[in-house]
Structure 1
Amino acid sequence: MFIKSFKVKSNSPLKGSERKKLYAEIAAAFPTLTDEQIQNLLPRRDSISSLKIMTHSGEIGKLFCASEVPMFFQLDSGIYPTIFTLWHHPDLLYNFTTHDGVIQKLASGANLMLPGVVLDGPSSLHAYGKLNKGTPVSINTVDNKAPVAVGVAAHSSYDMYMAAGRGKCVDILHTLGDSLCQLGKPPLRPHLGAAFIEHRGQEDEVQKEAGNTLEHGIEELDIRGEIDTKAVVDRLMQDTVETSEKEEEPKGDIVGVAEINPIEEMDKLLEYCFLKACKTTIKKGDLPMLSSNFSKNHLLAVCPAHQSIDIKKSSYKKLSVFLASMKAKGVINTSTMKGVETILSVKIDHPLLQELVITEQPATVEPVISNVPVVAECYRVTADVLPLLAVFGYEKGDILTRMEVRKCFTDYVKKESLQDGKMLTLNPQLAGILRTKENQVTLGWEDALNKFIGRMTHTHQVTVAGTRLVRSGKLEPIDITIATRSGNKKVTLVNNLETFGIKLQEFSKECQGIGASATITDVPGKKTPSVLVQGNQVLYVYKLLTEKYQINKKYLRGLEFAPKQRK
Structure 2
Amino acid sequence: MFKKNVSVLTARPISGKDVKELKRKLRITFPDLSEDDADHFFPAKAEVQILKLKNKATAYTCGNANPLFFDPDGRGDLLVPTVYALCKCPQIIETLYTYSEVSPKVLGGADLFLQGLIVPDGGLGDFSAGDLRAVSVPGNPYPFAVGTMEVGSGEIAKTGLKGKGLKLLHFFGDQLWGLGDKSSPDSSFTLTRIFPVMASSDDDPDAQIEECLLSGSHSVSDGELPMIASDFYAKHVLPAKAEGASIDIKKTSYKKLSKLLSTFEKKGLLTTKVIHKQDKLTAVNRGHELYTAFAPKEQAAASSTSAASTSGNKITVTYSYRVPTSLRPIFDLDADKDTLYSEERVCTLLKGYMEREGLVAGKGAIKLDKLLVGHLFKKKEPQQEGDPHPFEDTLRRLLDKLALFHTIARASQEGVIEVVGKGAVKNITMSMDDRMGGRKHVTHLMHVESFGLSADELGAALQRKFKTSCSVAKLPGKTETGKEISLQGNLLQELPRYLKEEYGIDAQYIDIKKKGT
Shorter-normalised TM-score: what interval? 0.3 to 0.5
Higher relative contact order (CA 8 A, sep 6+): 2
TM-score with structure 1 length normalisation? Answer: 0.41
TM-score with structure 2 length normalisation? Answer: 0.44
Higher-Rg structure is 1
